[in-house]
Structure 1
Amino acid sequence: MKKIAVFIVALLSLLQVHAQDDLDLAVMLQKTPDSNQIFKSDDYYTWCSSVIKGEDGKYHMLYSRWPHGKRSLSGDSMNYIFDGFSGWLRYSEIAYATADKLESPYHYVKTILKGTGDNDVWDRFTMHNPQIRKFGKYYYLYYISNSFDSSFSLPGKPRDEKWMHWLQYNCTQKVGVLKAASLKDLINGKFEKSAQPIMQADSEHSFEVTTNPSVTQGPDGKFYMMYKSRKPNVGNMTMWMAVCDRPDGVFKTISEVFTKPEMACEDPCLWYDHKRKRFYAAVKYYSNAKVLAPDFGDLVLITSEDGRVWTPAAHSLISLKELQLKGQQQIHLAHLERPFVFTDNNGQPKALFAAASIEEPSKGDVAKPAPAFNTFNVSFLIK
């Protein structure tokens, strides 16, 4: 009888944990957004949105953008590798838009952060992957940037010259943060900017690159960051967890999110759900293994009780790479990524934002891509 009682207690405990993990964003998403929920520009690639509600009751979007077209040499004889869509690695800037409603329509206001090319700073060129958060009385804007390391090389056989030049920019990507007392201050340049990165590869756990930062506060009061990096001799990128006592301090890596290639993901948006008492992250599935979702590039949901050990959520699929606007036919997308989940103060999802394109943007006209080759941010309300 004692063994039976122990078994029942264990089973009830498992059922309780499972019951807490009942978030099903695929069911909750508004599947057919209005055309106003598409945010784009005719002159810029539009990517990487994050949104926060301001003191004024309006909604404020920080996002990445970079101009169409061919690049001038600008002191770099191989600068042509950044033509068109590839320009994100050197020419992305963080721009600002506002809306009266959470889902739309958003209107561009100004660019707030742009690379200066200054040789003496770590964030010399691109400004990318913005994520806006408020912790306590302050606003924090996390972002990535890079410089250039002409000495960077990879061991082994000789590499293509263009690819190596790309890596000499790519493998200097690090994470920084802006801190401001108000959104108005942040937008108007009255902020503290980290003089040094708050996350960079340590060559012990993570290597070469740190990107895709997403930060939330856990129930223990600490601040958790999920980010993407690389491992030696591993084909896929990996995601890591880091922690810090302050939202703008130097984060310390504590665990790897997934270790198996069939679970590879990127582009995390991390939050803590106070109702379900667990962390969640919306991510892009970076595998063809069909474990978390039917196809490479679908949006999926992963979860953790402690912020260290991660598993697929009970309802792991968020969205296929599809889009159907009201009154229009469903279309397959080349990209649906960089998910951002807007939540209320209790960690309950209210909207999903994602970057998208209909056709592969790197194959379109770099001067002025046709609509199907341009990029845009799309918003979905969550019921």
Structure 2
Amino acid sequence: SRAGGKARGADGDSTDCCLDANHTIGLMRQSLVLDGGLQIDGYSTWGGSVVRDDDGVYHMFASRWPRLLGAHAWVSSSEIVHCTSRSAHGPYQLAGVALPRRGREFWDGMSTHNPNVVRDPSTGMFVLFYIGITYDFAAPSSAEFVNRSQYEVAWNSKRAGVATAQSPFGPWSRAVQPILTPRPGRWDAAITSNPSAVIAADGSTLLLYKSIGAPYPERTYKKMSFRIGAAVAKSVHGPFRRLLDDGPALRWRGNALAAEDPYIWRCGAQFHLLFKTMGAIPSLKLRSGQLVYTTSPDVRNWSAPQLAFPKELTLWTGKSMTVDRLERPQLLFADDRAPHIFSHAFFGAVLHGEFRNVVQGQAAHVCVD
């Protein structure tokens, strides 16, 4: 197997996303870079996704929103920003706003969030998959966003979309409509969210997404769980069709898993997936809220999920730190070392909107040839 090299993000058919795992899958090892990642004064940040350009510059796309608006204002006030660094682990510096608010008449006009950046090997274009939100109430501007009914209205409008550019600096061309919409009466009737894509050499695209069986308020009193689906298209622009018409794609032993935050990549003929559990899997000793790892040859049949990250992380100094939880993992395969894993860490300050992007480097046992 090989590591690093040409793969930048998730180049579909490339075997350069492979690591020598000695034919075993074990716990990922990581070193936490507390002075890396992304922090922007006055803003909460979320969901860093990184791609390397042809000059060796690293470009992170992440969501931000004013910290004074509180933790829940991502749904009303998030925008996707572009940041750069000469080092994969950062720190990343703000270069500009990639997808700003553009008006409530657009499907993504009031909030853009959860980016996943990929280089299209068939065109060389930079591709941003993301979620867009719109709503008809006044956007919060000077106080914490606490209106629950408004939150639910905005949340219900979440849709997956795509934007493309010849350069990570833009300009970005945004799709007129979402690339994937909910299906009334199905398991994914509420939203299409948290996209993660693999683009093959011919431009064909596999898209994983999160959804749930009903929007607010129904999803609350029915106690529904998030699931992960898959869709495919001949290009990043679609049209996308569901890989499975009868249910979610992420299953184990015939049961759809309660999950969110998928990150998928391909190594040869095998697909690899990191995701966050949204329910326990007692037979595997997995709890809700953990980042786990699984593989599949066809995005239909998955291996037994295994814990990918413990909550106690090792710093580059050799000391350790325990985080409350890790979310929205995304990988960067950029050199001959193990991949850089970008995740979101909660250090106990989430109620005050103190989100941090952190970087865990040196993951091992990721891919089996």
Name which of 198, 201, 206 aligns with 2:179: 198
**Amino acid paired to 1:45:** S
Contact 1:241–1:308 under 8 Å retained in 2: no
Instruction: Tell me the distance in 2 between the aligned counterparts of 1:89 and 1:25.
Output: 36
Q: CA deviation at 1:26?
A: 2.5
Higher mean displacement: 161-170 or 118-127 = 161-170
Structure 2 partner of 1:78 = none
Segments of structure 1 that go 5 or more residues without pairing to the other structure are 1-18, 70-82, 151-160, 367-372
- Structure scoring higher RCO (CA < 8 A, sep ≥ 6) equals 2
Residue 282 in 1 paired to residue 297 in 2?
A: no
Aligned ranges 1:212-231 → 2 under 5 Å = 212-217=194-199, 222-231=204-213
Segments of structure 2 that go 5 or more residues without pairing to the other structure are 1-19, 138-145, 215-221, 365-369
Structure 2 partner of 1:112 = 98
Contact 1:38–1:379 under 8 Å retained in 2: no
- CA RMSD, aligned part only? 2.9
Instruction: Tell me the distance in 2 between the aligned counterparts of 1:23 and 1:62.
Output: 32
Name the SS of the counterpart of 1:197 in structure 2. coil
Q: 1:46 to 1:162 in 2, by over 3 A?
A: closer
Instruction: Tell me the distance in 2 between the aligned counterparts of 1:34 and 1:311.
Output: 31
Deviations 1:229-267 (A, max 9, x none): 012556211110111111121311122123588831110
Structure 2 partner of 1:340 = 330
Instruction: Tell me the distance in 2 between the aligned counterparts of 1:343 and 1:317.
Output: 21
Contact 1:301–1:318 under 8 Å retained in 2: yes
Residue 139 in 1 paired to residue 123 in 2?
A: no
**What TM-score comes out, normalization by structure 1 length?**
0.75
Q: 1:162 to 1:45 in 2, by over 3 A?
A: closer
Q: 1:101 to 1:173 in 2, by over 3 A?
A: same
Structure 2 partner of 1:243 = 232
**Amino acid paired to 1:312:** A
Residue 265 in 1 paired to residue 268 in 2?
A: no
Deviations 1:85-136 (A, max 9, x none): 11100111111111212222322222221223x2321112111010111112
Contact 1:356–1:378 under 8 Å retained in 2: no
Residue 175 in 1 paired to residue 160 in 2?
A: yes
Instruction: Tell me the distance in 2 between the aligned counterparts of 1:171 and 1:200.
Output: 12
Aligned ranges 1:17-56 → 2 under 5 Å = 22=23, 24=25, 26-27=27-28, 29=29, 31-56=30-55
Q: 1:377 to 1:34 in 2, by over 3 A?
A: closer
Deviations 1:30-81 (A, max 9, x none): x333433343233111210111110211111111111111xxxxxxxxxxxx
Contact 1:262–1:291 under 8 Å retained in 2: no
**Equivalent pairs: percent with the same residue?**
25
Name the SS of the counterpart of 1:97 in structure 2. strand
**By percentage of residues, which structure has more helix?**
1
**Amino acid paired to 1:215:** A
**Amino acid paired to 1:272:** R
**Amino acid paired to 1:39:** L
Greater gyration radius: 1
Q: CA deviation at 1:322?
A: 2.9
Contact 2:82–2:98 under 8 Å retained in 1: yes
**Amino acid paired to 1:33:** L
**What TM-score comes out, normalization by structure 2 length?**
0.78
Instruction: Tell me the distance in 2 between the aligned counterparts of 1:343 and 1:280.
Output: 13
Q: CA deviation at 1:223?
A: 1.3
Deviations 1:179-216 (A, max 9, x none): 12232xxx232x32100110111224311111110110
Contact 2:203–2:236 under 8 Å retained in 1: no
Q: CA deviation at 1:343?
A: 2.6
- State the number of aligned residues: 322
Instruction: Tell me the distance in 2 between the aligned counterparts of 1:149 and 1:311.
Output: 44
Name which of 86, 91, 94 aligns with 1:100: 86
Name the SS of the counterpart of 1:269 in structure 2. strand
**Amino acid paired to 1:343:** F
Name the SS of the counterpart of 2:304 in structure 1. strand
Instruction: Tell me the distance in 2 between the aligned counterparts of 1:306 and 1:218.
Output: 14
Contact 1:236–1:261 under 8 Å retained in 2: no
